[in-house]
Amino acid sequence: MRLEVLREIIKKKEKKLEFAIVTDLSTGISEIFEENKKLSENFQKYNREINKFFKSKKNGVIEETNIFIETYIRPIKVIIVGAVHIAQYLVDFAKSLNFEISIIDPRGYFASEQRFPNMKIINKWPEEAFKEINTNESTALIALTHDPKIDDPALQHALNKKFYYIGALGSKKTHENRCQRLKDAGFSENQIQSIHGPIGIKLGGKSAPEIALSIISQLVSETYKK
């Protein structure tokens, strides 16, 4: 691999851009592929197949060729609202996955560097915190506080921005009350139904790490449906 290609790869990874490295295994020639960017003559005739690998976020060799594609996908933003005990286990599970975690909680005694080392922590109310985070349809929200003053504004933001995953902790009764508040706030039945509540896959667990596992399992499942 040429040095200039390697340097460009490092820059793109630092900027968290999505791209692929296309390599001819028979010659060792490598090139960076990006969506809507024209490839060189070395790989141009394989453009359709390379695009297919890139869009499916998969690595592999194009059939009956020596062309290998390695994709680099942008980490998925996951916003956890509520620095509660379950959040600590969620962060532990997420560390080895392709998630970029941010924690929002105005309560500084919960959301601290000591409890969540090396995490992006925003000690502000959701209305202010979301001004510091660029969110879109590829963002996920996990609301954990049970406090409508904290959870509800975050859920409303996620619904308005059409997050691909929205989950909220609480019992069925808590969720019913939550849904009614959102309905009163003007959200449609379809929007409200997009919220996973009670959150998580039904694994039967009751402890904090078991609940966190059920949440991260649901999040991963929904991520692959995107």
Give the pLDDT means over successive 10-residue stretches in the chain (226 positions).
80 82 91 86 89 86 93 89 95 88 92 90 95 92 95 97 96 94 96 94 90 95 83
- 219/52 Cα distance (integer angstroms): 24
Name which of 192, 80, 87, 211 is nearest 143 in CA terms. 80
Following DSSP, what letter does each residue of 136-202 receive, concatenated? Answer: -TT-EEEE----HHHHHHHHHHHHHTT-SEEEE-S-HHHHHHHHHHHHHTT--HHHHHTSBSS-S--
- Residue-level pLDDT at 226: 66
Contacts of 81 (CB under 8 A, 6+ apart): 103, 104, 105, 126, 141, 142, 143, 144, 145, 150, 151, 154
- Best CATH choice for the domain 76-223 from the list 3.40.50.2300, 1.20.1440.120, 3.30.2090.10, 3.40.50.720: 3.40.50.720
Q: Domain residue spans in the chain?
A: 3-72, 76-223
- Tokens for 69, please give them: 């594609």
- Residue-level pLDDT at 74: 79
- Tokens for 4, please give them: 């200039």
- 208/144 Cα distance (integer angstroms): 12
- Residue-level pLDDT at 8: 84
- 41/103 Cα distance (integer angstroms): 46
Give me the residue label for tokens 């959150």: 199
Give me the residue label for tokens 């005739």: 45
- 119/12 Cα distance (integer angstroms): 22
Question: What single DSSP character describes residue 65?
Answer: S
- Tokens for 148, please give them: 């409508």
Share of the chain above pLDDT 90, in %: 62
Strand partners, 61: 68
Question: Are residues 68 and 14 in contact, defined by beta-carbon separation less than 8 angstroms?
Answer: no
Q: What is the pTM of this model?
A: 0.77
- Tokens for 87, please give them: 């959040």
